[in-house]
Structure 1
Amino acid sequence: MAVVGAGVVGAGTAWHLAQCGYSVCLYDPRLGAAVDSDQINGNRNGTSASLGVLMGHVYRRHSGRGWRLRQRSMALWPQWIKALQTFEPDLRLQSPLIQLADDDDVLKRMQGLVERRKGLGLQLIPAMDNPVPCLGGLSSLRDGRLEPLMLQRALRLAMATVSVQQHPAKVRNLKRTGTNGDPRWRVETGEESCQDYEAVVICTALNSDGLLAPLGHERPMTPVLGQVIDLELKDGPSNWKNWPAVLSVQGFNLVPKQPGRLLLGATLEPGAEADPSALKLMLDRLGSTLPWLKSATPVEHWWGLRARPVDRPAPLLEQLEPGLLLASGHYRNGVLLAPATAEWVQKGLNRSSAMFTSS
């Protein structure tokens, strides 16, 4: 079968399917370069542009598909990390994640989460002045972040050990072939001979609709741009003692990097073009809480697009017809939901037809 798109969702799905015995070909033009090849370019691909934040247990909803997917992914991530550490020994879940309450109402909701989710590593933190002044907040010992570039490198190395064929080519078209009783899917790249597959899994975010529309499937997605600033601090913390791996304040994520350095990121802009004023917005909005951010110097700045489904909840996990699966539109949670998505694809293939055989 073919998997189209080699971000963390596509690569993770290809790796998982190959481990389950499927013969897998992964298509993405980015496979022809190292995962960190766009580090010199501010415009990065979705996974590389992310901070790799995992907000599984602090999710506000208590039921529904989104909650189930998050819980399943958080249960699978320790297994994935252990397996991937063979290739990147330093890969680990950096924790905890702390969310600060903006007001008393938010703090009450946090108290409710702690009461409902006993055993999931959630704790209330009291009002404090140091390291950050706040009314209080929520600490999640099992949430945090994964370093996204390290994760992608590990997945590429892991795929090589289970014989995933990696094609550095852009898929331009999909065509139905075969018969009603034995459907096949032709993958056309324009750069090499076409190949037919028993199944195709589309994990191409904003490019998904371009492949689906000619087949009669409309799944529009809108771009939402996230930005990250690597800041050098002139004032404020000289080290990160007592700081969490991720601090979430007013919808922004702060990630300690090294002494005197901090990553600040958020997904906040509709559209596909980075707005320079968004940098000032991030710093200004947090400046009243963290005044030392006002004197920080940007060392590096990058951005990337997230695919948000239109009029449908994220992510889009659908079997559109026999052998055609969509696993895309994860919006801000591609890294978080990669394991649960891969498992969903594998189970969907197992259920769809006995014609999908292990190889």
Structure 2
Amino acid sequence: MTFVSSRPRIAVLGAGIIGLSAAYELAMRRGARVTLHDVRAPGRGASWAAAGMLAPAFEAAAEPGVHPQLFDLCLASAALWPAFAQDLSARAGEPVGFDRTPSLAAALDAREMARLSQIAGTLSSAGIDHLVLGADAICELEPAISRAVLGGLELPTDLRVHNRRTVSALLTVLRASANVDFVSGPALLKSEAGRVSLDGHDAMLAAAGWETSIIKVKERGELYSLTNWDAALDDIDCHGGQMLSVAATAGAPQRVVRSGHVYLVPRGGQVVIGATVEPDRVIEVPEAGVIEALRREGVRLCPGLANAPVAESWAGVRPGTPDQAPFIGETVTPGLFVAAGHYRNGILLAPVTAQIIADALLGAPQGELAATFTTRRAYGATA
């Protein structure tokens, strides 16, 4: 884009970790002025509900039906996380809980063993380090794992961060910056001759998660959803999720442990147990029966948690797309950009999304990988 001012003003619509990270990149690293709009409390929603896993291998290496380059995008963002965490912690004066300890993927049945074999095959083909473990070996690395385990993987690519601390650190830095303003409530977008604008701003970034498509624009006195300016945004759907945390008692795992859809994440004296994936559901309050079933699945994976008291339970909504990959870049409407639809990888993909968006907004050169995640892409080609 071409801006009249050397210090463009960008409106970021949505203050979850994607919007906050984009604002951080634009304001703190590139010198742009940013206004963050959100109808909810900044940093909440899926960003707060997540467990903080940075898991390119487990989430994208062998998932069926995903964007063929999602794994590459996830790996690129994982590589950015060490520097991102260090820079953010230094600016905020508070740790974000970035942990380089490799995650473990365990199999409790033959189906899960087959999936882990697929992941290992993808990693081997790409020359990416990993360790195939027998039952005894994985239990030696993490004694909390059930002795019923059949085997597993150690994944040096798959790390973790304390997502809530990360969000808090982003808010600390951005609120202290003279380049950033926070606005509670919707942005007053308007459309004239098919072009969306916001008074006082040069460009807009829609980053409101699953609610991105329903951002409102005024045209001829009426309010319309943003999908009227890029129909692809209607493909961002919602996937409800429920999870809980228990006290980290003596039998708690020390590492991230995953098996199927269940994961255990040590975090701040607790162990997060997650998570359900419930398509087309917006869940704001966790359901007792679902939480208890999930707790039992966590205990099946790590029996030492059987008597650990429940500390908290919660629900959230992940934004997804048909190929489980985000939309990142300029929409078909000039001046309107999007960063949404990150599904289960919002925390992981925050740094690379922020860089791609900042490059696109400020006219910096972009690589081929960035261009494959725009709203103009076609679905169908799968990994």
TM-score (norm: length of structure 2)? 0.75
1:169 matches 2:169: no
Residue 306 and residue 184 in structure 1: after superposition, are their counterparts in 2 closer, same or farther (change >3 A)?
closer
> How far off its partner does 1:301 sit?
1.0
Aligned to 1:222: 237
Partner of 1:69: 73
Partner residue in 1 for 2:203: 199
Distance in 1 separating the partners of 2:320 and 2:342: 7
Q: 2:258 aligns with which of 224, 227, 248?
A: 248
Give deviations 1:242-295, integer Å, cap 9, x for gaps. Answer: x31x11122111012466x42211142231134332112213334444444444
Please provide the CA RMSD for this pair: 2.9
Which position in structure 2 is the counterpart of 1:263? 272
Preserved CA contact (<8 Å) 1:47 1:335: yes
- Matched with 1:340 is 352
Letter in 2 for 1:138: L
Amino acid at match of 2:131: Q
Cα drift, residue 151 of structure 1: 0.5
Q: Which range is displaced more, 120-129 or 78-87?
A: 120-129
2:134 pairs with 1:126: yes
Q: CA deviation at 1:184?
A: 6.6
Q: How does 1:226-241 map to 2 (within 5 A)?
A: 226-232=241-247, 237=251, 240=253
Partner of 2:379: none
> Quick one: distance in 2 between partners of 1:17 and 1:201?
11
* Structure 1 position 109, deviation (Å): 2.2
Q: In the alignment, which of 91, 96, 110 is matched to residue 96 of structure 2? A: 91
1:22 to 20, 32, 35: 32
Structure 1 residue 196: deviation in Å?
3.0
Say if 2:7 is the partner of 1:10.
no
Inter-CA distance 85–225: structure 2 relative to 1 (3 Å threshold): same
Amino acid at match of 1:125: L
Once residues 23 and 184 of structure 1 are traced to their aligned partners in structure 2, the CA distance between those partners, rounded to angstroms, is: 19
Q: Which amino acid aligns with 1:150?
A: R
Aligned pair 1:52/2:62, yes or no?
no
Amino acid at match of 1:22: A
* Counterpart amino acid of residue 89 in structure 2: Q
Q: Tell me which amino acid in the other structure corresponds to 1:224.
A: H
2:339 matched to 1:327?
A: yes
Please state whether the residue corresponding to 1:196 is helix, strand or coil.
coil
Per-residue displacement from partner, 1:177-203 (whole Å, max 9, x unpaired)? 5x89xx6712xxxxxxxx331100010
1:20: how far off? Answer: 1.2
The SS at the match of 2:124 is helix
For 2:377, the equivalent position in structure 1 comes to: none
Task: Tell me which amino acid in the other structure corresponds to 1:127.
Answer: A
TM-score w.r.t. length of structure 1: 0.80
- Secondary structure class of the residue paired with 1:64: coil
Offset at residue 5 of structure 1 (A): 0.8
Contact 2:37-2:187 within 8 A present in 1 as well: no
Q: What is the DSSP-based 3-state SS (H/G/I as helix, E as strand, rest coil) of the residue aligned with 1:24? A: strand
Matching residue's letter, 2:311? V
The aligned amino acid for 1:208 is T
- Give CA deviations for 1:87-145 in whole Å, capped at 9, x if unaligned: 14422422221111342423432432442343x44222221253313222111224221
Stretches of structure 1 that go unaligned for 5 or more consecutive residues are 36-43, 187-194, 354-359
Percent sequence identity over aligned pairs: 24
Distance 1:90 1:224, change over 3 A: same
Whole-angstrom distance in 1 between the partners of 2:364 and 2:248: 54
SS at 2:215 equivalent: helix
Q: Give the aligned length.
A: 324
Output the CA distance in 2 between the equivalents of 1:337 and 1:138.
Answer: 23
Match of 2:220 in 1: none
Does residue 144 in structure 1 map to residue 154 in structure 2? no
Q: Give the Cα–Cα distance (whole angstroms) in 2 for the partners of residues 139 and 298 of structure 1.
A: 28
CA distance, structure 1, for counterparts of residue 173 and residue 51 of structure 2: 22
Gaps of 5+ in 2: 1-9, 217-224, 366-383
